[in-house]
Chain A
C-alpha cells in the first residue's frame, strides 16, 4: 500500500527546537505526516523523540518552530489545544488515573453529561461498546484501573485515543509492555486506523515492528534529525546504522 503524498501534509513540524536548562533536547527538527501514513520515530533513549512529539501533543511548548495542521499554522499551548485539533496521544506511561475505573479514564476531560451531571451509566455503556471492538475479553468495568493487567491498561489508553475520532494519533511505544498476542492486536489496530485515513506517529524501539508497520522512518540522535527514509527502500541494517552512527546510509545520502 502506498501513501499518496501529493496533497497537503496532515501535520508539518517545521524547525522545532526546545531546550531544558541549556541542553537542546530537540534541535531544529522538521518532520511531516500524511493522511493514512505511519511515520516511525526512532533513536536512542534521550534522542529527543518523546520530547518532539510532546510539542505536538501539548505537553510541552516548543521554544521555536512552526506546527501546521492541514497546511494551517496552529498554536498548541496545552493538551486541550491538541485535543481540539483531533490530535490524540497514547503515552508510554499510559497516563491513566489509577484510582478511577475504565470509563472514567476513557472520558477524562470529556465526560458525557446529562443536565450538568456526569452520566456514568452512559459512559460505561460507550466504554463497553468500544472495548468490545478493541479487546473483547475485557470485563473489568467497575474496578479502578490499578486492578488491571498491563495489556488491559494499554487497551483502555488506546480506546481513549481512538474513541474521539482522532485524525492524528501519537503512539509512544505502544507495545513496550505487551505480550506477543497483544502486540499483534495493536499492529492490526494500526493497520485499521491507517486504512481509515488517520496519520500516526509511532515511537518504537523494535526495528522489526518499524519495518512491518511504518511507511517512513525519521531517525533522531542527540536532539537532531538524522534523516527520514522510506521504509520500503531501506533495510533494517540501514536504519540501525542511522540510529547508531547518526548519518544516512551512503546509497541514500545522495
Chain B
C-alpha cells in the first residue's frame, strides 16, 4: 500500500531491518515520541504515570477526540477540512440528551431508564450527526463552497442551534445504561478483557498471514517468515499488555458495595473486581479497525485517497467525486455523534460547552498522526496515536502540576514541531512535497 505516501526507497543499508519488516518509518517516529513522553512522565511522577489507573484514564479521555480524528483523516486526505466537529458533537449531544431526558419519556410515558428509549435516542443522535455531515458534504461537493467556509459557518450554527435545543440549560444524564458508554462506569472486567485480548490477537495474526498467503498465491516476494513473526509478536504483545494492565486496575471497594446494594445483595467479604478494558475504548478500537479496512480495502477508501492525490484524475477515472464528498462528511458527522454519546456519558450530563474547541484537537491529532493538509496522505492509526500523544502530554503535565495555560502552549508547540520534523525528514529523503 502506498497510503503512507512514504514508500522507503534508496535508504541506506543500515536501515535494512526496518526495510525487511516493512515498517512505516513515520509510525516508528510517532511510537518513539509516544515512548519518550511516557518515559519522561513516568520518571517525573515516580511511576504513577504508567500505573493502571492513569493508563485507564488516558484511554478513556482520548476516546472522543480519537474517534473524530479517524473521520478527520478522511476529510483532510480528500483535501477538505471540518471545523464544525466540536459543534456537531454538541448538537448531537443536545438532541440525544433532550430525547432521553424529556422528549421520548413525555411522548411514550415511559419510566426512567427504559432501554428502548435509550436505543431510539442513540439512533436519533446518529441520524442527526450523519444528517449534519451530509448537509456539509452537499454544500461542499455539489455547491462547490470551500469546506473551510461551510464548516466555519457550521461551527457557529450548530453550536447555537444546540443552545436553543436545550434552552441553554445543562441536562443531567444518569441512566446507567447510558453511562456504560462513558468509561469508568462501563468496563468489561478482567475475564472478558482477557478474552477480548486473545480474540483480537488471534485476528491480528490471522490477518497478517492471510495477506501473506494472498501475496504468495500471485507469486510475489514476501517478507521472510521471521519478519512476519516479529510483527505479529509486537502487535500481540501490545494488545495483551494493554489488556493485562487495565485488568490490574481495581474498582474501588465503596463503589463495588454500591453496585451490590443496587442489586439488593450484600458484597461478600474480601470481594474484588478489576476494571479491565472500558467499553468506550472498545468502541474506539472497533472504529479504528473498521476505518482502516475502509481506507485500504474498499473502493470508497481508495477513491478518497485518489481524490486527495489528484481530484481531476479521480473525476476523469469515472469516480463521482461529489457524492464521495457527501459520504466523507456524512461519515464525519456520524463519528461526531458517536463521540457525543461517549462524551456525554463520561460527563454524565450535556452542557452547552460540550466539545468546545474540540475541532482544533481533532485536527491536531490527525496532523500529528501524519495526515498532510495538502491531501492524499494519512493513516487512521496515526490519528489515534496522535490523539493519544496529545492526551498523554496533557495528562502527564497535569499530574506534575503544570498550569493549564502552559499545557496548551506545549500541545501547540508539539503540533508545530511534529509537522516540522516530518518536513525535515522528507527533505532528507528527497521527497519534498
Contact = CB atoms under 8 A, between A and B. Distances in A.
A97 B298 contact: no
Interface of A: 57-59, 78-80, 83, 89, 91, 93-101, 104-105, 108-111, 113, 116-122, 124-125, 142-144, 146-147
Given A96-B313, A118-B299, A143-B9, A109 B319 contact: yes
B313 A95 contact: yes
Given A80-B318, A97-B310, A104-B2, A117 B220 contact: no
B215 A121 contact: yes
Interface string B187-198: 000000000000
Given A118-B298, A121-B214, A99 B5 contact: yes
Contacts of B3: 99
A231 to B, nearest CB: 29
B310 A122 contact: no
Given A95-B312, A116-B298, A143-B9, A101 B317 contact: no
B49 to A, nearest CB: 38
A97 B311 CA distance: 8
B306 interface: yes
Contacts of B293: 117
B9 A104 contact: no
Nearest to A141: B220
A99 B309 contact: yes
Interface in B290-340: 293, 297-299, 302-303, 305-306, 308-310, 312-320
B377 A91 contact: no
B218 A79 contact: no
A2 to B, nearest CB: 34
A95 B318 contact: no
A143 B7 CA distance: 6
Contacts of B305: 97, 99-100
A253 B299 CA distance: 53
A83 B318 contact: yes
B217 interface: yes
B309 A117 contact: no
Chain B, interface size category, equals 35 or more
B9 A122 contact: no
Contacts of B5: 99, 144
Interface in B239-290: none
A122 B303 CA distance: 18
A117 B308 CA distance: 21
B1 interface: yes
Closest 10 CB pairs of A and B: A99-B309, A97-B309, A109-B317, A99-B376, A80-B318, A95-B313, A125-B218, A109-B318, A97-B306, A108-B317
Nearest to B301: A118
Nearest to B216: A121
Contacts of A98: 309-310, 376
10 contacts: A59-B315, A78-B320, A96-B313, A97-B309, A97-B310, A101-B1, A109-B318, A143-B7, A143-B9, A147-B7
Contact of A117 (B298, B306, B433): B298
Nearest to A115: B297
A144 B306 CA distance: 11
Contact of B316 (A91, A111, A122): A91
B313 A97 contact: yes
Contact of B318 (A78, A100, A122, A146): A78
Contact of B7 (A110, A113, A144): A144
Given A80-B318, A109-B317, A144 B310 contact: no
A170 to B, nearest CB: 11
Given A111-B302, A144-B7, A100 B2 contact: yes
A122 B315 CA distance: 24
Given A79-B316, A109-B319, A118-B297, A100 B7 contact: no
Nearest to B6: A144
A57 B312 CA distance: 13
A202 to B, nearest CB: 18
A108 B314 contact: yes
Nearest to A97: B309
Nearest to A79: B318
A242 B232 CA distance: 68
A100 B312 contact: no
A146 B433 contact: yes
A125 B1 CA distance: 14
Nearest to A83: B318
Contacts of A142: 2, 7
B218 A124 contact: yes
**Most chain A CB inside 10 Å of its own CB: which residue of B217, B313, B314, B376:** B313
B308 A99 contact: yes
